[in-house]
């Protein structure tokens, strides 16, 4: 048995425990509700919680106070925390952190524009809800 097998089983178990497809309708929490919360959290994290300095200095070459990687990682981790708190799955939060960093790094390098950046972030939220529903 590979060393990844226990981790894979643990992830499956965590996702299964968070299965949103069977959530009682009396709570009002369903996949659409979770998606809306994730999207609202995204806009809070990207615009409300990201300072002008962070938005500038998370790009290589624009850093003055801290190295750009710290700014970018901190910004991604804020998003990851939001996903982890709303889904109850820390591994989805970690995935959000990494993917958010990759998307924003590509925006900083000019490989994607602002609109593409936002669409990719929103598609990630759809993916997290889909993974929760498939568990």
pLDDT digits (tens, 9 = 90+) for 78-116: 999 999 999 999 999 999 999 999 999 999 999 999 999
| Sequence-ordered list of residues with C-beta below 8 angstroms from that of 14, at least 6 positions apart, any chain | 89, 91
Q: Can you tell me the distance from the alpha carbon of 97 to that of 46, in angstroms, rounded to the nearest whole number?
A: 13
Q: What is the mean pLDDT of residues 13-28?
A: 50
| Sequence-ordered list of residues with C-beta below 8 angstroms from that of 79, at least 6 positions apart, any chain | 41, 42, 45, 46, 96, 97, 100, 121
Q: Worst-scoring range by mean pLDDT, 28-37, 84-93, 119-128?
A: 28-37
Cβ pair 96, 80 in contact under 8 A: yes
Pair of tokens at residue 102? 């990759």
pTM of the model: 0.79
| For residue 17, pLDDT beyond 80 | no
Q: Can you tell me the distance from the alpha carbon of 54 to that of 62, in angstroms, rounded to the nearest whole number?
A: 10
Band (134; pLDDT cuts 50, 70, 90): confident
Q: Report the 10 Å Cβ neighbour count for 46.
A: 18
Pair of tokens at residue 49? 């919680």
């Amino acid at each position: 048995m590979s060393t990844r097998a226990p981790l894979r089983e643990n992830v499956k178990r965590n996702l299964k425990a968070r299965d949103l497809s069977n959530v009682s309708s009396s709570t009002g929490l369903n996949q659409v509700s979770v998606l809306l919360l994730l999207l609202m959290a995204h806009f809070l994290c990207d615009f409300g919680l990201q300072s002008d300095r962070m938005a500038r200095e998370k790009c290589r070459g624009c850093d003055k106070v801290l190295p750009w990687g710290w700014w970018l990682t901190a910004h991604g981790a804020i998003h990851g925390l939001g996903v982890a708190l709303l889904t109850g799955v820390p591994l989805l939060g970690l995935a959000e952190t990494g993917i958010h960093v990759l998307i924003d790094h590509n925006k900083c390098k000019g490989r994607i524009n602002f609109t593409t950046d936002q669409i990719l972030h929103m598609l990630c939220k759809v993916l997290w809800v889909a993974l929760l529903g498939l568990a």
